């Protein structure tokens, strides 16, 4: 690639839209990794009374907020829609109503401005987000993707090329955090609340299981751990802080054990990367850093604001694909499920989480 072409790619500007769950987000990102402007509207207040995300409420909130947010982001950047080189919108996986709101909006903008549409896999947004924050991160790398709906280990070999090494057979880790928080009366969202409460607890106080730890099976399982948290809470024998700390430690132990197994399959990898909402948990990050050091791997993670759902990662995934000359037709459909590795073998149990 010559200097002129490289500069053209670095100067490309992509508008990203994210609406797969309960965050309405819009961002403008340049190909040189500069986040020009971004806005995120949380729906925590709307869903808090229900202890979790209600799909119909989420879709309605996206529909109400998205158009004004797009206008605000463009105003923040001081540009017009015609100045954007492409529109990137999450096309799945996620709550289908919300995904459709964002994707239809992206299609309308692309059609109105005559710009390419990039229909982005939300998981690919997470998988590539560390490259937005770290310009030295090259392919391949080992990725732990941990969020409210997904828990996977993947070998990230290139844009659009992923090999799934492990997935959850029941609950994702973020889901287990949220359900444990509900059991402990901590409210929603549960991940940050459990992490905060755990700071005052003893991680060895409550004997909780480590599902599948040491198993020849490569996958994760957190449903049994969540059930054990419920039994511990019902027993009245332990403080909420001790239960939270013990749950968090059990989850970390499972992550490290499964990553060790994945490394046994892949052999040495240059870098260990974590992404997704649970990547914001500092105890998880510290354990992963220790594991990476043990295997002489570089450890990298996006900044906390890029761990949870956001549009900057969607715009960046759009930049990565735009640089490869890719785009999508305007009749592309929203997808409630969209595996990064469609050729991966089905996991035992509820492998649809993959």
pLDDT values of the chain reduced to their tens digit, one per residue, 354 residues: 544 444 557 889 999 999 998 889 999 999 999 999 999 998 777 877 777 788 888 889 899 999 999 999 999 999 999 999 999 999 999 999 999 999 999 999 999 999 999 999 999 999 999 999 999 999 999 999 998 888 999 999 999 999 999 999 999 999 999 999 999 999 878 999 999 999 999 999 999 999 999 999 999 999 999 999 999 999 999 999 999 999 999 999 999 999 999 999 999 999 999 998 899 999 999 999 999 999 999 999 989 889 889 999 999 999 999 999 999 999 999 999 999 999 998 887 654 444
Q: What is the pLDDT of residue 7?
A: 53
Question: Contact at 8 Å (CB) between 197 and 208?
Answer: no
Looking at residue 54, its pLDDT comes to: 86
Question: In b/e form, how buried is each residue of 245-268, taking b as 16+ CB within 10 angstroms?
Answer: bbbbbbbbebbbbbbebbbeeeee
Domains and their CATH numbers in the chain = 3-129+306-353 (3.30.420.40), 140-302 (3.30.420.40)
Instruction: Give the length of the chain.
Output: 354
Torsions phi, psi for 32 (to 5 deg)? -90, 10
pLDDT, residue 8, reads 56
Rounded CA gap, 91 and 206, in Å? 42
R_g (Cα) of the chain, nearest Å: 20
Which pLDDT does position 347 carry in this prediction?
84
Q: Identify the pLDDT of residue 316.
A: 98
Residue 335: the pLDDT is 96
Q: Which residue, among 155, 137, 153, has the nearest Cα to 145 in the 3D structure?
A: 153
- Contact at 8 Å (CB) between 90 and 47? no
């Amino acid at each position: 690639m010559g200097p002129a072409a490289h500069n053209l790619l670095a100067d490309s500007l992509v508008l990203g839209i994210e609406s797969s769950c309960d965050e309405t987000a819009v961002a403008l990102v340049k190909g040189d990794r500069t986040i020009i402007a971004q806005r995120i509207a949380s729906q925590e207040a709307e869903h808090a009374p229900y202890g979790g995300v209600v799909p119909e409420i989420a879709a309605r909130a996206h529909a109400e907020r998205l158009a004004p947010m797009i206008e605000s982001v463009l105003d923040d950047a001081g540009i017009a829609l015609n100045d954007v080189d492409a529109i990137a919108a999450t096309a799945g996986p996620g709550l289908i109503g919300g995904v459709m709101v964002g994707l239809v909006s992206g299609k309308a903008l692309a059609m109105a401005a005559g710009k390419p549409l990039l229909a982005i896999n939300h998981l690919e947004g997470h998988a590539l987000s560390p490259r937005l924050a770290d310009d030295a991160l090259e392919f391949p790398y080992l990725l732990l993707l941990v969020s409210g709906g997904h828990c996977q280990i993947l070998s990230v070999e290139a844009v659009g090329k992923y090999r799934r090494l492990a997935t959850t057979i029941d609950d994702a880790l973020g889901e287990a955090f949220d359900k444990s928080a509900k059991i402990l009366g901590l409210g929603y969202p549960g991940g940050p609340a459990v992490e905060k409460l755990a700071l005052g607890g003893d991680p060895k106080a409550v004997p909780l299981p480590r599902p599948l730890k040491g198993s020849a099976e490569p996958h994760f399982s957190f449903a049994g751990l969540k059930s054990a948290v419920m039994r511990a809470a019902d027993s009245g024998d332990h403080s909420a802080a001790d239960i939270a700390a013990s749950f968090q430690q059990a989850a970390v132990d499972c992550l490290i054990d499964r990553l060790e197994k994945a490394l046994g399959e892949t052999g040495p990898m240059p870098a260990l990367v974590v992404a997704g909402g649970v990547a914001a948990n500092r105890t998880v990050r510290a354990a992963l850093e220790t594991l990476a050091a043990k295997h002489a791997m570089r450890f990298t993670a996006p900044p906390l604001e890029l761990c949870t759902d956001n549009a900057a990662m969607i715009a960046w995934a759009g930049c990565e694909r735009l640089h490869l000359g890719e785009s999508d037709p305007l009749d592309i459909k929203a997808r409630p499920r969209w595996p990064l590795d469609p050729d991966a073998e089905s996991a035992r149990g509820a492998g649809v989480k993959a």
